Chains A and B, each alone.
Chain A
Amino acid sequence: MSYVKPTQERRELLEEVRTFLAYEADLLDNRDLDEWLDLLTDDISYEVPRRITREAGDDVPVFSEKSFHLQEDIDSFEARIARYEKDYAWAENPPSRTRRFVTNVRIESVDGDEVRERNNMLLLRLRGEEAEPTFISGERVDTLRREDGYLKLADRRVLLDQTVMGTQNLSEFL
């Protein structure tokens, strides 16, 4: 077993997926959340499960099937974003500065209009006078769907490396 050599067609798709992810990260870093919402399909399923330290060989999954930092659909995203747009949303006023690094993009499969890909994400967050960022890292397992010629996010699971979160609150979409 080895890596799969990309065909010309796959190379083009990979380039498009990378372009999508970079564009998405840019919107989130700039907190253009309404525009970010336009990148989601109406039936978006989005989960950030709680990771649990378990013994190797334990047959219970390390990613909780019940506990989630975020477990969202399009309506709950809209409600969260509407809240952030208010001046009194103290978690993001003054806004944090974030920088998302999205790398190691690999296409898993293509099925009709849907592309299943995984990527690594590192998010650095600075608030106020902090000199040292807090960070969140993990793998994102995405399904992108082509609608009207453009890719949109239809499904995302963010598999965090942290079990205990070092950020005092989580007011970012990952």
Chain B
Amino acid sequence: MAATNLSTETKEMIEQLDQSLMDGRYPIRLRNDEAVFELEQDRVFNDNWVFIGHESEIPEPGDYARRYIGGSDPFIFTRDEDGNVQVLFDSCGHRGTKLCRAEQGNTSHFRCPYHGWTYNNKGELVGVTFKHEAYKEIDPDEWKLPKPAKVDSYAGLVFATMNPDSPSLEEHLGDMKWYIDMNFKFPTNGMEVYGEPYRYVLPVDWKQPCENFGGDDYHISTTHQSAIEGGLISEIWHWDEGPYGGLAERVHTHFEELPEMGHSFAAGMIGEDYSPFYGYDEEIHDCFSAENISQEQYDLARRSVVNIGTIFPNLSFIQVGKGTGSNDSGFLCLRQWQPRAPGETELWSWVLVPKDAPEEQKRKINNVALSSFTPAGNWEQDDLAVWDGITEAAGSTVAKRQGVETSYEMGLGNMSNTEIHDEWPGPGVCYNNHYQEGYGRWFHRRWQEEITKEPLPEGAE
């Protein structure tokens, strides 16, 4: 099947995107266009480091979970008998049948249900049915399960890239590691996944939630007004009186150079004298220390009420204190925005808890997390409702032919009162409040960088 033609209009939008973004404009068409979706599959997801899962999801040899690169390319995320993490293309070398038919489980071998070829959890072909009669000269080395070019992990987060020319994972994450550390390493023994990821199909382009979690604090007072007025927030938000929604400090950080361009981070903190630690109960504060992070990172985590961030292309996190009416706690959620079709995304959402917290605390943290940031949660329910219409508008002929644009002007020139934060100890370009849309401009700028790294196909009339 021939690839969908890129329209001349859309092609022009992509080529001029850097200029548009500098002017604070983004052509909405890029959020729902068949040809753009196909380019993203090839050039963003097949060509870059993408999140596969957390190491704690597969603690024992033989543990496995089925995962996807680019939303639909199937892989088995497993721990082999030597204890090493493996990422294997889930398709039998004989006819292509999937080998892993459950979402999660434990097995030492994957046996194809069609003709019975069997692979170990290193992806080696170890069994061929009726081999001596049917396939006596087969070379099993030729029929190992394909693997990504590179697999690596950072702070328990496992990523893979299909591109052998990708830089190392360390390089891809670059200075964003500083903020990952701050969120995943302040518990002395780290974070672990609690339960299984929630999966919901959303009628919105994957880039939309990526930038929302990359730093859109501007939406909170409108989108989440009912949750705020309803008191579904942790008491820590009321501990201090600051100018920014009760907070002493709100910061926004993005990156304008490769390799970090496209990653971003935002935080809200209260005064020096308080130690909310995102709202985690005081009884587990002894699980936290500066052992694996700098004193500056630890102090910021200590004062934090909310942290959010996006790691290009499609992994976001939020660590925040919320309340449910019966529980009040901090929590950490990882969310991966998996493209499924133009204008359609599957959300994968994991809850993480400090590994050393007692089980009773883990249950409470988990309860507050699922009551806040899953599509059934009091906060996320409304995010998903207000994104209605983006896909419809983006897919319209008007968006294509008339090139309808949306505004990303906040923080440019004298538009808002935001200023560079001179004292900020962390890396990146940091602004001293949240009236700033650099997170979105530079996310899309990085996207353009990836989409145009090879010449674009010819536009069609």
Q: Which 4 A-B pairs have the closest CB atoms?
A: A79-B325, A66-B195, A67-B195, A170-B376
Task: Tell me whether A64 and B196 are in contact in the complex, defined as CB-CB below 8 angstroms, given that A91-B384, A169-B375 are known contacts.
Answer: yes
Q: Return the contact of A168 from the options B199, B375, B378 (Cβ within 8 A).
A: B375
B202 nearest in chain A by CB position: A168
Number of interface residues of A (CB under 8 A): 43
Q: Contact between A50 and B105 (Cβ–Cβ < 8 Å)? A: no
Bound: A171/B227 CA distance, A:
13
A55 nearest in chain B by CB position: B102
Q: Contact between B325 and A86 (Cβ–Cβ < 8 Å)? A: no
Q: Within residues 132 to 174 of chain A, which ones have a CB less than 8 A from any CB in chain B?
A: 163-171
Bound: A119/B455 CA distance, A:
58
**A-side contacts of B223, CB under 8 Å:** 90
Interface of B is mostly: mixed
**A-side contacts of B222, CB under 8 Å:** 88
**A-side contacts of B149, CB under 8 Å:** none
Q: Which residues of B line the A interface, CB within 8 A?
A: 101-107, 194-204, 222-223, 225-227, 229-232, 323-327, 346, 351, 366-367, 370-371, 374-376, 378, 380-382, 384-386, 388
**A-side contacts of B231, CB under 8 Å:** 79
Q: Contact between A171 and B325 (Cβ–Cβ < 8 Å)? A: no
Q: Contact between B382 and A163 (Cβ–Cβ < 8 Å)? A: no
A-B contact count (CB 8 A): 140
Task: Tell me whether A80 and B105 are in contact in the complex, defined as CB-CB below 8 angstroms, given that A71-B370, A86-B226, A169-B385 are known contacts.
Answer: no
Q: Contact between B381 and A52 (Cβ–Cβ < 8 Å)? A: no
Q: Contact between A83 and B226 (Cβ–Cβ < 8 Å)? A: yes
Task: Tell me whether A164 and B371 are in contact in the complex, defined as CB-CB below 8 angstroms, given that A50-B195, A79-B232, A79-B324 are known contacts.
Answer: no
* Distance (whole angstroms) from the CB of B246 to the closest CB of chain A: 19
Bound: A82/B378 CA distance, A:
11
Task: Tell me whether A163 and B103 are in contact in the complex, defined as CB-CB below 8 angstroms, given that A83-B232, A86-B226 are known contacts.
Answer: yes
Q: Contact between B375 and A64 (Cβ–Cβ < 8 Å)? A: no
Q: Contact between A50 and B230 (Cβ–Cβ < 8 Å)? A: no
Task: Tell me whether A164 and B346 are in contact in the complex, defined as CB-CB below 8 angstroms, given that A69-B370, A90-B385 are known contacts.
Answer: yes
Q: Which of B323, B376, B380 has the most CB of A within 10 A?
A: B376
Task: Tell me whether A53 and B102 are in contact in the complex, defined as CB-CB below 8 angstroms, given that A67-B196, A169-B381 are known contacts.
Answer: yes
